[in-house]
Protein backbone atom coordinates (compact mmCIF):
# COMPACT_ATOMS: atom_id res chain seq x y z
CA UNK A 1 0.00 0.00 0.00
CA UNK A 2 1.31 3.42 -0.89
CA UNK A 3 0.49 6.44 1.24
CA UNK A 4 0.29 9.83 -0.39
CA UNK A 5 0.26 13.25 1.17
CA UNK A 6 -0.32 16.71 -0.19
CA UNK A 7 2.46 19.22 0.11
CA UNK A 8 1.92 22.94 -0.39
CA UNK A 9 3.85 24.53 -3.21
CA UNK A 10 6.84 26.53 -2.00
CA UNK A 11 6.12 30.23 -1.65
CA UNK A 12 8.85 31.11 -4.05
CA UNK A 13 7.43 28.91 -6.81
CA UNK A 14 6.58 30.87 -9.92
CA UNK A 15 2.88 31.88 -10.02
CA UNK A 16 2.08 30.37 -6.59
CA UNK A 17 -0.61 32.26 -4.61
CA UNK A 18 -1.33 31.93 -0.90
CA UNK A 19 -4.72 30.45 -0.07
CA UNK A 20 -4.71 32.38 3.18
CA UNK A 21 -5.84 31.11 6.54
CA UNK A 22 -7.64 27.75 6.45
CA UNK A 23 -8.34 27.15 10.14
CA UNK A 24 -10.89 29.61 11.51
CA UNK A 25 -11.67 27.67 14.70
CA UNK A 26 -10.31 30.52 16.80
CA UNK A 27 -12.96 32.87 15.36
CA UNK A 28 -16.24 31.38 16.71
CA UNK A 29 -18.01 34.75 16.77
CA UNK A 30 -17.48 35.20 13.05
CA UNK A 31 -18.71 31.71 12.31
CA UNK A 32 -21.81 32.42 14.37
CA UNK A 33 -22.36 35.67 12.51
CA UNK A 34 -24.07 33.71 9.75
CA UNK A 35 -27.14 34.11 11.98
CA UNK A 36 -26.56 37.84 12.42
CA UNK A 37 -25.27 39.96 15.28
CA UNK A 38 -27.44 40.44 18.35
CA UNK A 39 -28.42 43.87 19.64
CA UNK A 40 -28.58 45.30 16.13
CA UNK A 41 -31.65 46.36 14.19
CA UNK A 42 -32.81 44.12 11.32
CA UNK A 43 -35.72 44.45 8.90
CA UNK A 44 -37.95 41.39 9.19
CA UNK A 45 -41.12 42.00 7.18
CA UNK A 46 -43.44 44.59 5.67
CA UNK A 47 -45.65 46.31 8.22
CA UNK A 48 -48.74 45.42 6.17
CA UNK A 49 -48.02 41.72 6.70
CA UNK A 50 -48.45 41.96 10.48
CA UNK A 51 -52.02 41.85 11.73
CA UNK A 52 -54.10 40.59 14.63
CA UNK A 53 -53.18 37.01 13.75
CA UNK A 54 -49.55 36.35 14.70
CA UNK A 55 -46.85 35.45 12.20
CA UNK A 56 -43.49 33.80 12.83
CA UNK A 57 -40.14 35.16 11.65
CA UNK A 58 -36.63 33.86 12.28
CA UNK A 59 -33.92 36.32 13.30
CA UNK A 60 -30.41 35.51 14.57
CA UNK A 61 -31.43 31.85 14.63
CA UNK A 62 -34.41 32.50 16.91
CA UNK A 63 -38.08 32.18 16.12
CA UNK A 64 -40.06 35.30 16.96
CA UNK A 65 -43.80 35.92 16.97
CA UNK A 66 -45.05 39.23 15.58
CA UNK A 67 -48.56 40.47 16.28
CA UNK A 68 -50.41 43.78 16.01
CA UNK A 69 -52.59 45.06 18.82
CA UNK A 70 -54.41 48.42 18.55
CA UNK A 71 -52.06 49.55 15.80
CA UNK A 72 -48.83 48.64 17.63
CA UNK A 73 -46.64 45.67 16.68
CA UNK A 74 -45.19 43.44 19.40
CA UNK A 75 -42.47 40.81 19.19
CA UNK A 76 -42.19 37.85 21.56
CA UNK A 77 -40.01 34.75 21.65
CA UNK A 78 -42.15 32.20 19.80
CA UNK A 79 -42.06 29.45 22.38
CA UNK A 80 -44.27 28.96 25.40
CA UNK A 81 -42.01 28.23 28.40
CA UNK A 82 -44.47 25.63 29.69
CA UNK A 83 -44.36 22.93 27.00
CA UNK A 84 -42.47 24.61 24.18
CA UNK A 85 -45.48 25.09 21.90
CA UNK A 86 -45.11 28.00 19.42
CA UNK A 87 -47.17 30.95 20.61
CA UNK A 88 -47.92 31.67 16.95
CA UNK A 89 -49.68 28.30 16.56
CA UNK A 90 -52.90 28.77 14.53
CA UNK A 91 -54.96 27.65 17.53
CA UNK A 92 -53.52 30.36 19.79
CA UNK A 93 -55.94 33.12 20.74
CA UNK A 94 -56.42 36.48 22.38
CA UNK A 95 -58.56 35.99 25.45
CA UNK A 96 -57.90 39.41 26.98
CA UNK A 97 -56.87 42.76 25.43
CA UNK A 98 -53.14 43.30 25.28
CA UNK A 99 -52.30 39.62 25.75
CA UNK A 100 -51.80 36.42 23.79
CA UNK A 101 -52.73 32.91 24.96
CA UNK A 102 -50.92 29.67 24.18
CA UNK A 103 -53.25 27.08 22.71
CA UNK A 104 -51.92 24.18 24.82
CA UNK A 105 -52.68 24.99 28.47
CA UNK A 106 -53.90 28.54 28.21
CA UNK A 107 -50.82 30.31 29.49
CA UNK A 108 -51.45 33.97 28.75
CA UNK A 109 -48.68 36.53 28.28
CA UNK A 110 -48.70 40.31 28.34
CA UNK A 111 -47.65 41.56 24.89
CA UNK A 112 -45.75 44.55 26.28
CA UNK A 113 -43.71 42.85 29.00
CA UNK A 114 -43.92 39.15 28.14
CA UNK A 115 -44.96 38.33 31.71
CA UNK A 116 -47.36 35.49 32.41
CA UNK A 117 -50.59 37.14 33.57
CA UNK A 118 -52.94 34.16 33.50
CA UNK A 119 -52.89 30.36 33.37
CA UNK A 120 -56.43 29.67 32.23
CA UNK A 121 -56.35 25.94 33.00
CA UNK A 122 -55.35 26.73 36.63
CA UNK A 123 -58.05 29.28 37.25
CA UNK A 124 -57.82 32.89 38.46
CA UNK A 125 -55.65 32.08 41.52
CA UNK A 126 -52.84 30.31 39.67
CA UNK A 127 -49.63 30.60 41.74
CA UNK A 128 -47.44 30.56 38.61
CA UNK A 129 -48.64 33.96 37.41
CA UNK A 130 -46.02 36.67 37.67
CA UNK A 131 -43.20 34.15 38.02
CA UNK A 132 -42.71 33.30 34.33
CA UNK A 133 -42.14 35.41 31.24
CA UNK A 134 -41.19 35.10 27.59
CA UNK A 135 -38.53 37.28 26.02
CA UNK A 136 -39.75 40.39 24.23
CA UNK A 137 -38.00 42.39 21.53
CA UNK A 138 -38.15 46.08 20.59
CA UNK A 139 -39.99 46.83 17.36
CA UNK A 140 -39.91 49.94 15.22
CA UNK A 141 -41.65 50.75 11.97
CA UNK A 142 -39.49 52.47 9.39
CA UNK A 143 -41.33 54.56 6.83
CA UNK A 144 -39.68 56.05 3.77
CA UNK A 145 -40.30 59.77 3.21
CA UNK A 146 -43.46 60.09 1.16
CA UNK A 147 -45.95 62.61 -0.10
CA UNK A 148 -49.31 62.56 -1.79
CA UNK A 149 -50.38 65.00 -4.47
CA UNK A 150 -52.53 65.31 -7.57
CA UNK A 151 -50.85 65.49 -10.96
CA UNK A 152 -52.27 66.70 -14.25
CA UNK A 153 -52.22 64.26 -17.18
CA UNK A 154 -53.52 64.50 -20.74
CA UNK A 155 -56.51 62.44 -19.57
CA UNK A 156 -57.30 64.26 -16.33
CA UNK A 157 -56.08 64.71 -12.74
CA UNK A 158 -54.81 61.66 -10.84
CA UNK A 159 -53.70 61.34 -7.23
CA UNK A 160 -50.21 59.92 -6.79
CA UNK A 161 -48.12 58.71 -3.86
CA UNK A 162 -44.40 59.52 -4.14
CA UNK A 163 -41.72 57.79 -2.09
CA UNK A 164 -38.08 58.81 -1.74
CA UNK A 165 -35.64 55.89 -1.46
CA UNK A 166 -32.45 55.99 0.65
CA UNK A 167 -30.36 56.63 -2.49
CA UNK A 168 -32.46 59.65 -3.37
CA UNK A 169 -34.36 57.97 -6.18
CA UNK A 170 -38.12 58.47 -6.28
CA UNK A 171 -40.97 56.14 -7.08
CA UNK A 172 -44.53 57.08 -7.96
CA UNK A 173 -47.63 55.00 -7.36
CA UNK A 174 -50.79 56.46 -8.93
CA UNK A 175 -54.09 55.72 -7.19
CA UNK A 176 -55.63 52.86 -9.12
CA UNK A 177 -59.22 53.98 -8.56
CA UNK A 178 -58.41 57.40 -10.03
CA UNK A 179 -56.76 55.78 -13.04
CA UNK A 180 -59.70 53.45 -13.59
CA UNK A 181 -62.22 56.31 -13.38
CA UNK A 182 -60.28 58.50 -15.79
CA UNK A 183 -59.72 55.60 -18.19
CA UNK A 184 -63.45 54.85 -18.24
CA UNK A 185 -64.32 58.48 -18.85
CA UNK A 186 -61.81 58.86 -21.70
CA UNK A 187 -62.21 55.39 -23.19
CA UNK A 188 -58.52 54.48 -22.86
CA UNK A 189 -56.71 51.58 -21.14
CA UNK A 190 -56.10 51.93 -17.41
CA UNK A 191 -52.41 51.11 -17.95
CA UNK A 192 -52.08 54.11 -20.25
CA UNK A 193 -53.48 56.49 -17.64
CA UNK A 194 -51.33 54.88 -14.92
CA UNK A 195 -48.14 55.34 -16.95
CA UNK A 196 -49.05 58.95 -17.79
CA UNK A 197 -49.59 59.74 -14.10
CA UNK A 198 -46.24 58.19 -13.20
CA UNK A 199 -44.43 60.25 -15.82
CA UNK A 200 -46.15 63.44 -14.71
CA UNK A 201 -45.20 62.86 -11.08
CA UNK A 202 -41.55 62.00 -11.73
CA UNK A 203 -40.91 64.52 -14.52
CA UNK A 204 -42.39 67.45 -12.63
CA UNK A 205 -41.53 67.12 -8.93
CA UNK A 206 -43.30 69.44 -6.55
CA UNK A 207 -41.36 72.38 -5.41
- Domain range summary for the chain, segments of one domain joined by +: 47-137, 146-203
Query: Tens digit of pLDDT for each residue in 44-102?
Result: 998 989 999 999 999 888 999 999 999 999 999 999 999 899 999 999 999 999 999 99
Q: What is the pLDDT of residue 87?
A: 96
E strand segments, the chain:
55-59, 62-69, 72-77, 99-101, 107-110, 116-119, 136-137, 146-152, 157-164, 170-174
Find the Cα–Cα–Cα–Cα dihedral 131, 134, 135, 139, rounded to 10°: -120
Same fold, 47-137 and 146-203: no
pLDDT band for position 13 (50/70/90)? very low
Task: Say whether pTM exceeds 0.85.
Answer: no
Query: Tens digit of pLDDT for each residue in 116-143?
Result: 999 998 888 889 888 999 999 999 988 8
* H-assigned helices in the chain: 28-32, 176-186, 190-203
Q: Looking at domain 146-203, which of 3.30.70.141, 3.30.70.260, 3.10.20.300, 3.40.190.10 is its CATH number?
A: 3.10.20.300
pLDDT at 25 over 70: no
Superfamily of domain 47-137, CATH level 4: Rieske [2Fe-2S] iron-sulphur domain (2.102.10.10)
pLDDT band for position 32 (50/70/90)? low
Q: Among 153, 207, 160, which residue's Cα sits nearest to residue 185?
A: 153
Pairing of strands 170-174, 157-164: antiparallel
Amino acid sequence: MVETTERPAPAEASGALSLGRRDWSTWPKYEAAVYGFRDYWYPVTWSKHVGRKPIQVTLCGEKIMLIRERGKVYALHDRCPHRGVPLSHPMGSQEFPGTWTCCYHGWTFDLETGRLVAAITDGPESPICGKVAVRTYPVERYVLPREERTVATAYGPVRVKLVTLPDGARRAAPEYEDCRRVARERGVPVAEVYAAAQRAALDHPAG
